[in-house]
A and B are shown apart, each in its own frame.
Chain A
Amino acid sequence: EIVLTQSPGTLSLSPGERATLSCRASQSVSSSYLAWYQQKPGQAPRLLIYGASSRATGIPDRFSGSGSGTDFTLTISRLEPEDFAVYYCQQYGSSPGWTFGQGTKVEIK
C-alpha cells in the first residue's frame, strides 16, 4: 500500500502570501493518479487538481500542482481569505486502492 505523507501539518500564513504544500509518496505514483482536494469546516471536500497538475473546472489559476514520482506539490500563489482550509493529496494505485494524505491545514497567521 502506498502511503502519502503531507508536510507541513499546519502552515500559518497571511493573505497575499504564497503557500507551498508537499505530498510525498512511499512508492512512485503515476502523475495521472495524483489529486489534491480542499476541505473547509463542515463541508465536503472539493477537487482542486487532478493528474498532478490539471485544475478542475472553476478552480482559480492561483492554484497549481506539480511533481512526479514520489514528490508532489500544491502551490497557492497568493492566498485569498477563502483559501484557508485543509488540503489533502490523494493517489490511486495498485491493489487497486485509493489513499489520502493526512492533510495540511492552512491557517491565518
Chain B
Amino acid sequence: QVQLVESGGGVVQPGRSLRLSCAASGFTFSSYGMHWVRQAPGKGLEWVAVIWYDGSNKYYADSVKGRFTISRDNSKNTLFLQMNSLRADDTAVYYCARDLTMIVVAMGYWGQGTLVTVSS
C-alpha cells in the first residue's frame, strides 16, 4: 500500500534552514507528481510546492518562493523540501502528498506530517 513518511521537522531559529524528507513506498515513485502542503497550528491547509514526476518542473506558493526548494531523488524514492530563511509564520505541520494518478490532479495520498517550529 502507498506509504509516505515525513521526517526532518523540529525547532529552528528564525533565519536558519531546515531540510524535510518524505520517504515513499508501495508505488512507483518516479511516476507521480509530489507536493508539500502545510498547516499552521489551528489553521487551514496551504499548498507549498509541487514537483513533476521526473523533476522537470517545480512550482511554489508565493509565500515560499525564493526561500524553499522542492526536489526528489527517484533512485531513493524520496522527496525533499529545503527551507531557507525561515520565519515564524513558516511554523506548521508539513505534509507530503502524492497525485492521485498520473492524470488526476488531486492529492490522493498523504503522509502524517512533520512539525516545524520556527522560534528563537
Contacts and interface: CB of A to CB of B under 8 A. Distances in A.
Query: Which of B44, B46, B111 has the most CB atoms of chain A within a 10 A radius of its CB?
Result: B44
Contacts, number: 60
Nearest to B6: A44
Interface of B: 35, 37, 44-47, 50, 59, 61-62, 95, 100, 104-113
15 contacts: A37-B45, A39-B45, A43-B112, A44-B110, A44-B111, A45-B37, A88-B44, A90-B45, A90-B106, A92-B105, A97-B59, A98-B50, A101-B44, A102-B44, A103-B45
A51 B105 CA distance: 8
A101 B50 CA distance: 18
Interface string A18-51: 0000000000000011010101000111110011
Contacts of B59: 95-97
B100 A50 contact: yes
Interface residues of A, number: 26
A84 interface: no
Nearest to A32: B105
Given A56-B106, A99-B47, A100-B45, 7 more contacts: A33-B105, A37-B45, A44-B111, A45-B107, A46-B110, A95-B59, A100-B46
